[in-house]
Structure 1
């Protein structure tokens, strides 16, 4: 039962890509799609194709940091250390052909 629960949790979280449209330029006919580390390039392509209504061409990829999250770890000497890690987001810009 425990293995089934772990497997279903993994599938649930690996299927969530959390993509969103963060920019568009109607004059240049481009769209920018943003996602996290779990999204694959195919997910970005599919989102851009849906926005454009046809096949979109990848122009640019950009990595940004949005805020921080805290990571606490044991240093081995009985003390805990806190580290701030940036939340990485990836932005792909596509041209609607």
Structure 2
């Protein structure tokens, strides 16, 4: 059995929706659809409702490293890979 290790380079651990859309080559509308609702399919930073507000405000922050790790594990069928952050 081969013991090759796949190395994947990503720009940062946490990205904005616009950066995610550019990295994954999807539209902003698709990113919004994936990050909203009760069960988002993209891991996002927990949002906090500030005192005196009805909804959480501010930009959504996406855990890109966690997303990429899940995608690689599904695609390759193993976890023998290495993520290089900041490359």
What TM-score results when the alignment is normalised by the length of structure 1? 0.25
Structure with the larger helix share: 2
Q: Highest Rg: 1 or 2?
A: 1
What TM-score results when the alignment is normalised by the length of structure 2? 0.27
> Higher RCO, 1 or 2 (CA under 8 Å, sep at least 6)?
2
